[in-house]
């Protein structure tokens, strides 16, 4: 049968909406790293009962954004360098796997999507807006993963990278120090996708994410309070 309808997407549940709002507050930095989270206070601020807040915190715990301790309460996560390394490596695996599949299955849509992200990032650099740059950058990587046409990979990716997005906001100097190199790397990656060179695209992505790991490592080690995490991870 000809497809005359787009499928109706069910509305998200109250728990999902609550989780999305708290996740946004963590990734944008409104709720800082290590901040104590009171279920009652969050419920009051969001205008909901405690039950969806409770469920939302459990979801965010599974994403690594929230630590829940039965005795001490719930807190926004604090970065542990070993964990950040692991998440970056996991991210690289999902993105390199996705770019290979996207080039094989969906090249034109992939290239068009990445081009629009690069345009957004170039404009952001021109007007010196690191917020807009970050948005374009995140959209660039999401475009790669979505173009793999694999919902299972895409949903795991979304659950995996939230702590990296939050760290990026928190360690804001990373972006400003490396923004020119970052843009060059994205443009190179787009060119590899245009030429349909999946091996090169995957290798460039590995390098790009490797540079981010270095930046996190340097930035975390230069901040007070993270020495223990860094020592423990070596």
Chain residues in the site for a copy of itself (CB under 8 A): 10, 13, 15, 54-55, 58-59, 62, 64, 69-70, 83, 86-87, 89-90, 93-94, 97, 101, 150-153, 156, 159-160
Identify which of residues 63 and 120 has a Cβ nearer to a copy of itself in the complex.
Answer: 63
Identify which of residues 55 and 197 has a Cβ nearer to a copy of itself in the complex.
Answer: 55
Chain centroid to CA 227: 24
C-beta of 203: minimal distance to a copy of itself in Å? 14
Give Cα separations from 101 to 11, 71, 123, 136, 190 (angstroms): 30, 45, 29, 22, 15
Identify which of residues 14 and 200 has a Cβ nearer to a copy of itself in the complex.
Answer: 14
- In angstroms, the CA 59 to CA 159 distance is 9
User: Helices (DSSP H) in the chain: which residue ranges?
Assistant: 14-27, 39-46, 50-62, 81-126, 130-146, 151-170, 173-194, 198-222, 227-233
Instruction: Output the DSSP codes for 153-200.
Output: HHHHHHHHHHHHHHHHHHTTHHHHHHHHHHHHHHHHHHHHHHTT-HHH
Identify which of residues 75 and 97 has a Cβ nearer to a copy of itself in the complex.
Answer: 97
Identify which of residues 8 and 127 has a Cβ nearer to a copy of itself in the complex.
Answer: 8
C-beta of 21: minimal distance to a copy of itself in Å? 17
C-beta of 156: minimal distance to a copy of itself in Å? 5
Structure token digits, residue 137: 């950058």
C-beta of 85: minimal distance to a copy of itself in Å? 8
C-beta of 159: minimal distance to a copy of itself in Å? 8
């Amino acid at each position: 049968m000809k497809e005359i309808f787009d499928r109706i997407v069910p509305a998200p549940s109250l728990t999902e909406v609550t989780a999305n709002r708290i996740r946004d507050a963590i990734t944008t930095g409104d709720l800082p790293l290590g901040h104590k989270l009171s279920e009652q206070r969050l419920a009051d601020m969001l205008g909901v009962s405690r039950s969806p807040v409770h469920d939302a915190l459990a979801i965010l715990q599974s994403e690594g954004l929230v630590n829940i301790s039965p005795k001490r309460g719930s807190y926004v996560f604090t970065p542990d360098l070993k964990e950040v390394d692991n998440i970056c490596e996991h991210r690289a695996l999902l993105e390199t796997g996705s770019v290979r599949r996207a080039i094989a299955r969906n090249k034109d849509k992939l290239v068009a999507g990445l081009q629009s992200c690069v345009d957004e990032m170039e404009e952001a650099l021109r007007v010196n807006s690191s917020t807009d740059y970050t948005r374009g950058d995140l959209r660039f990587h999401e475009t790669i993963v979505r173009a793999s046409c694999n919902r299972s990979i895409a949903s795991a990716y979304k659950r995996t990278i939230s702590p990296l997005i939050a760290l990026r906001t928190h360690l804001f100097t990373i972006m400003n120090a490396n923004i020119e190199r970052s843009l060059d790397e994205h443009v190179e990656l787009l060119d590899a996708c245009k030429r349909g060179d999946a091996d090169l695209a995957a290798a460039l992505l590995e390098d790009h994410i490797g540079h981010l790991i270095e930046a996190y490592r340097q930035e975390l080690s230069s901040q007070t309070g993270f020495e223990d995490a860094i020592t423990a991870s070596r």
